Amino acid sequence: MKSKLSVPSAFTVRNGHIAPGNPVAPKSAPSSPSAVAELTKDFETPFYFYNLDHVRARAEFLKTALCESQKLPVAIHYAAKANANPAILKLLKSLGLCVDVVSSGEIDCALRNGFDADDILFSGVAKTRRELVHALKISVKQINIESLGELERLEQILIASPALLPAGQKISVGLRLNPNVSPETHPYITTGLKENKFGLEEDAVIEAVRRITKTQAPIQFRGLSLHIGSQLLELTALNDAIGIGLAVQNKVRDFFPASEKSAVDRFDIGGGLGINYDSIDETVECDVVQSYAELLKKHVGSELDSGRLRELMVEPGRWLVARSGLLVTEVQYTKTTQHKSFVIVDGGMNLLIRPALYEAHHRIAPLTSDTKPGESSTNEPAKNVDVVGPICESADFLGRGVILPNTAPGDRLAIFDTGAYGRTMASNYNQRGWPAEYVYTEGRVSRIDSV
């Protein structure tokens, strides 16, 4: 039986008030953190609110599961696309994490917030010439190649401009294998099937490796990369993908002369670990992490013992930060028609596009109420409502069929689990402006915006 989560949830409901969980004891703050409503009563809505203490606890939990319990040589590369808030990036760097980026802009963001070039794993399917030159100039840790065209472009750049790298230095590359496995997740966030745009099929990997063995460009193949999709809570497909990936890696390692085989010593397992958006209880996804660590050990134990592998890389994003975030929005109007009831708020798909894009579900509750989410009381009967925003689109909803107590203009609602793919996917559509972002740590709240 797996051990249970040893820290509180990111947020708890105490006497009808949503409050931050408190996995890190404040140094000079009350022993019980104040309710979010009290902490933010003077803040203009809509805004994001992140519990950094919880991000810290999650990162430590992941490090313990992978590096301490299973003794795996894992470099944890946080997927910056999940949430690039400076406070989050600086915190994760301080905890010894590295970073996974998918654009030149994310490279610059990582560097501004404390990461070194050697911390940066550069992924992404459409790297431009300018982005590759930028990555070469600073000598990132590794570039993950997603197509034969990308490899050809990288070769051309290096041959035409050898001074981009110090004399005698090679750029480390990985090749992203598309293993053609299907995880149990939304079709828009699967990335490991043949019909997806991502990665190389096995034949293309072999062709790329053969090309690397013959190139005059200073390129060093370090190993394969995988990423089969996001929001993984069931690991069967990942188990299959890792088995396929290691078999292909061992096959292509033999294409190199004996003097170069030892450099093929990394394996990038990608990211995708999910959370349970339906519950405030985080136990399930923490148990998944422990199963994940055991799965990795099962697959790579012999590879590590033999010395064929020396470093694993993983790319968690959502798992580290999703639970930490609330989107707080204010009710502007309530509206009831013959067909349904609406709660109209000042934050919409411009701030959180996941419900419109993926039909994703986020729990929604009043910041302050005498009822728990989804329940009713005798004094405040619950209603089935659609929570909708201000954007001129019918897709502009934060939740459909949400059970809420009666609400009135001026009431504030919290949309849970929005620390990942919330603010980072926001837009200025309808020219509504950007939301403020506040971070909570050790009993204090500060405003730290992404832009």
> 109 an active-site residue?
no
Catalytic residue among 67, 98, 286, 392: 392
Q: Are 147 and 126 in contact (CB under 8 A)?
A: no
Catalytic residues: 392
